[in-house]
Amino acid sequence: MSADYIMVGGFLGAGKTTAMLRLAEHLTERGRRVGLITNDQSHGLVDTSLVAAHGYPVQEITGGCFCCRFNSLTEAADRLTRDGRPDVFLAEPVGSCTDLRATVQYPLSRLYGHDYRIAPLSVLVDPVRARRIFGLEPGRTFSPKVLYVYAKQLEEADLIIINKSDLLTSDQQRTLEKVLHDRYLQAEVFTVSARTGANLDTWFGRLAAAELAPRRAMDVDYDVYAEGEALLGWLNATIRIAASAPFDGNRFLHRLATGVHAQLAADGLEIAHLKMTLAPSEGNDLAALNLVRTDGEPELSHRLEEAVTEGELILNLRAEGDPNRLDAVVRETLRDTSRQVDAVTTFEHSEYFRPARPNPTHRMATLGAD
């Protein structure tokens, strides 16, 4: 029996997790059994806790991207199969990762073609970020080597999905579609909103119907790719919070994010994605907060219904800058924020680093034998 393997790529903060949850819902409604696979350089992922909170079976691949931990990708699928026999796997690669066609999709198809049908590669785009990068409007962006990775992600896409259409005027949407269309001739371009659901069915329909295009994979300069990724600072922390009395967890997350945001902005660092969840020790309630640009605003996408006294905070931060600085800012702001609610915080896990050079397990430039 062969299961579908669907990968949804795109830069940090583009909306991959949000869109995958929508896709999981869409497929479940049609009688499919889905299993999700999240991925990061290190463990303690907001994405995994969010997906699990929605009730989907999920496996987390940590310690490197899919391409560098290729075997763990099939092992994760096997573990999901043991538990719930999914007939479709949805996999979200790390947002700073590229060359997925040659290092993940072609090897999966060539080595495990009997087990999996590999869907076309979708690459999601945050339109505000993209309009700046492509010079359609002024505003901060990343340095050139990070942008090399960004452009490579789009170059290998079968489907380019402009997400967050709810943030665009029709004129902004049209001009961005035209730029992407003209530059990336190999791809079909769709515009959707994972938040409102607008036009998602068109994309999902195309995913189900289209085949992974068998063209030769793009060339990638792994030195520039590695340097671009290593310009990004990465921080994952899991923190226990215990207060003397119930406090407003939504407000707590918002204050913490606002404090971290203000300091990183003062340093002139570009934030790619700050995301946090706060889960009370009891019950299934969850608050989630995201910030996807230094000149954006922190946004609560899930709110806690009730006040919280004890809980677990997961914080993932990716920004162009020194990881030591990210850690110092997070710790200092957390100290101040928890003092305001008279809470004690304990770091259960904390790692901050620059991603290591990508070193793929396989690299196959073609879908058939070379």
Ligand X SMILES: Nc1nc2c(ncn2[C@@H]2O[C@H](COP(=O)(O)OP(=O)(O)O)[C@@H](O)[C@H]2O)c(=O)[nH]1
Q: Which residues bind ligand X (CB under 6 A)?
A: 10, 12-18, 95, 163-164, 166-167, 193-195, 273, 275, 290, 292, 299, 301
In degrees and rounded to multiples of 5, residue 101 shows phi and psi of -65, -50
Measured from the Cβ of residue 288, the count of other Cβ atoms closer than 10 Å reads 24
Please give the angle made by the CA atoms of 130, 132 and 137, to the nearest 5 degrees.
125
The residue ranges that bind Mg ion (CB under 5 A) are 16-17, 47
> Shortest Cβ distance from residue 94 to ligand X (Å)?
9
**Burial category of 99 from C-beta neighbours within 10 Å (exposed 0-12, middle 13-18, buried 19 and up):** buried
In the bound state with ligand X, the residue whose beta carbon lies nearer, of 231 and 272, is 272
> Shortest Cβ distance from residue 163 to ligand X (Å)?
5
CB-closest chain residue to ligand X: 290
Q: How far is CA 168 from CA 184, 193, 272, in A?
A: 21, 10, 20
> Shortest Cβ distance from residue 243 to ligand X (Å)?
26
Pairing state between β 232-247 and 88-91: unpaired
In the bound state with ligand X, the residue whose beta carbon lies nearer, of 130 and 367, is 130
In the bound state with Mg ion, the residue whose beta carbon lies nearer, of 77 and 292, is 292
Residue 39 near which of ligand X, Mg ion, none (CB within 5-8 Å, type-dependent): none
Residue 238 near which of ligand X, Mg ion, none (CB within 5-8 Å, type-dependent): none
Contact partners, residue 255, CB within 8 Å, separation at least 6: 337, 340
> Shortest Cβ distance from residue 174 to ligand X (Å)?
18
Pairing state between β 122-125 and 3-10: parallel
In the bound state with ligand X, the residue whose beta carbon lies nearer, of 99 and 107, is 99
> Shortest Cβ distance from residue 62 to ligand X (Å)?
16
Residue 195 near which of Mg ion, ligand X, none (CB within 5-8 Å, type-dependent): ligand X
In the bound state with ligand X, the residue whose beta carbon lies nearer, of 18 and 337, is 18
> Shortest Cβ distance from residue 15 to ligand X (Å)?
3
Candidates 294, 301, 292, 296; CA nearest to 253 is 301
Candidates 271, 239, 274; CA nearest to 254 is 274
Candidates 362, 316, 358; CA nearest to 74 is 362
Residue 64 near which of Mg ion, ligand X, none (CB within 5-8 Å, type-dependent): none
